[in-house]
Amino acid sequence: MFSLSSYLKRPAVRLVLQTIEKLGHLSRTQLSTITKLSPASITNISDRLISLGIIQEAGRGPSYLGRKPVYLETNPDAGYTIVLELCPCEIRFFLMDFCSNVRSHYTIPATADKFSPQLLSQLVRSHVPVAYLASCICICIADNLGPEAEIYPEDFTEPLALEFDIAVYYENSLNLVALAEALFHFSEDLSNVLYLKIGETVRMSLITDGTVSPFLAGRPPQIGKTIETNDADGCPVTLDDTAGLRYIRRQVAKQFLTQPGQALGNLDRVPLTQFSCQDFFRLAQAGNQDVLAILRLYGQQLLRVVYNMSCLYNPDAIIIGGISSSAIDSILLAAGIADLAPTCTTKVYLAHYGEASVAKGGAKYSISRLLSGEM
């Protein structure tokens, strides 16, 4: 890593490695065409990166007029990123390789008041082999605690950086998820991607130029922005109230839980604080008409939010995540629509990575910082 950091001070080297990391499986001729560097420069740089163990040859392609081209790709063992996701009741540990693949994953129960640099250090030393630890790029601490948690990033980053002598950064998990999901579509040349995370509330993050958005950029973690809009009656509501699962909870409370004798499957007379949205979506998939009626209203609200966000930010794509694909299927079925595309040109996708998206985003962010010369 030290040799690579020194070598990355050359802009041409950064350009070659960034191109291989983004596109992958390229021949030297293709690299020369894409980067506009001479074939001799490409040969010298690629040979040096191979000797450093950062890239590797990945077989030969078909021959057209001469020798078969040799493809180059990043070496997954070139370096590792440790991602520690802090959740309200647990800590999730991920060891990611240089290709943003999960090498190992562990979860330990712990409440926010028990979090400490010593606990994180013990987790790292317990689950990272010494050989991997020596090749670590950095440690990413992902904050998934919410605004009520009183945690100061420097209380974790500075002790861990001193102990392991590597870069440590602290970031909002929402931003890392958005980055991972946006980069999934990099081949479509999307410049601005808006990620909406649907939970009890709706949070959002904007990824610019497919790499690091102003939401990231080393700033302190920011909670997803709340957007005010108006409902059908012209009354002001927030994006959270309009498209969050809290909306479904209110509808259930209004129509069922406040009416004794009304049956809603296994939700009959269940206190609202114990209401499970997972049970709700299971009932929807089972064809419960009362649940489908609520989902139909919710689907319309969600479509309004997607359309409003596309008009407000004009992104190239909107990615929706936070809830399972089966829940999305239930919403689509109830709303009677084939997809979530609003009546505009913005593309709408569903999230792909699931629980691993935080780790993939953390690995991508650390690699992009390394390749840009920031570390």
- For the domain that residue 252 is a member of, what is the CATH number? 3.30.420.40
Euclidean distance between CA atoms 363 and 368, whole angstroms: 9
Euclidean distance between CA atoms 317 and 257, whole angstroms: 38
181 in any annotated domain: no
232 in any annotated domain: yes
Euclidean distance between CA atoms 108 and 5, whole angstroms: 34
Report pLDDT digits (tens) over 40-58.
Answer: 998 998 898 888 888 888 8
How large a percentage of the chain has pLDDT more than 90?
8
Report pLDDT digits (tens) over 243-271.
Answer: 788 888 878 777 766 655 554 554 444 55
321 in any annotated domain: yes
Q: What is the predicted pLDDT for the residue at 188? A: 60
What is the three-class DSSP state of 72?
A: strand
Q: Are residues 127 and 65 in the same domain?
A: no
Report pLDDT digits (tens) over 182-211.
Answer: 777 665 666 788 888 888 777 777 777 655
Euclidean distance between CA atoms 327 and 137, whole angstroms: 37
Q: What is the predicted pLDDT for the residue at 239? A: 62
Last residue of a domain, one of 23, 57, 74: 74
Question: Could you tell me the CATH number of the domain that includes residue 27?
Answer: 1.10.10.10
Q: Are residues 155 and 288 in the same domain?
A: no
Q: What is the predicted pLDDT for the residue at 346? A: 77
Q: Are residues 85 and 42 in the same domain?
A: no
Say how many domains are in the chain.
3
Sheet holding 55-60, edge to edge: 26-27, 70-74, 55-60
Which residues, including other chains, have CB under 8 Å from residue 306's CB and lie 6 or more apart?
A: 196, 318, 320, 340, 342, 346, 348
- Over residues 270-275, the mean pLDDT reads 56
Q: Are residues 194 and 303 in the same domain?
A: yes
Which helix (H) or strand (E) segment is 90 a member of? strand 90-96
Dig out the tokens for 17 from the structure: 């490695």
Q: Are residues 158 and 207 in the same domain?
A: no
Q: Are residues 191 and 170 in the same domain?
A: no
20 in any annotated domain: yes
Taking residue 29's Cβ as centre, other Cβ atoms within 10 Å add up to: 12
Q: What is the predicted pLDDT for the residue at 84? A: 93
Question: Are the CB atoms for 98 and 80 separated by under 8 Å?
Answer: yes
Last residue of a domain, one of 74, 96, 127: 74
Q: What is the predicted pLDDT for the residue at 261? A: 53
- pLDDT-derived band at 225, boundaries 50, 70, 90: very low
Angle in degrees, CA 330, 331, 335, rounded to 5: 120
- pLDDT-derived band at 133, boundaries 50, 70, 90: confident
- pLDDT-derived band at 81, boundaries 50, 70, 90: very high
305 in any annotated domain: yes
Highest mean pLDDT among 13-17, 82-86, 320-324, 337-341: 82-86
Q: Are residues 244 and 133 in the same domain?
A: no
Q: What is the predicted pLDDT for the residue at 214? A: 45
| More confident: 18 or 256 | 18
Question: Are the CB atoms for 17 and 31 separated by under 8 Å?
Answer: no
Last residue of a domain, one of 41, 74, 107: 74
Q: What is the predicted pLDDT for the residue at 218? A: 36
pLDDT higher than threshold 60 for residue 297: yes
Q: SS3 sequence, 95-151?
A: EECCCCCEEEEEEEECCHHHCCHHHHHHHHHHHCCHHHHCCEEEEEEEECCCCCCCC
What range does the domain containing 329 cover?
186-351
139 in any annotated domain: yes
Q: Are residues 201 and 91 in the same domain?
A: no
Q: Are residues 160 and 261 in the same domain?
A: no
Mean of all residue pLDDT scores within the chain: 77
Q: What is the predicted pLDDT for the residue at 92? A: 92
Q: Are residues 362 and 323 in the same domain?
A: no
Q: Are residues 217 and 340 in the same domain?
A: yes
pLDDT higher than threshold 50 for residue 219: no
Residue 51's Cβ-side half-sphere holds a number of Cα atoms within 13 Å equal to 8
Q: Are residues 367 and 277 in the same domain?
A: no
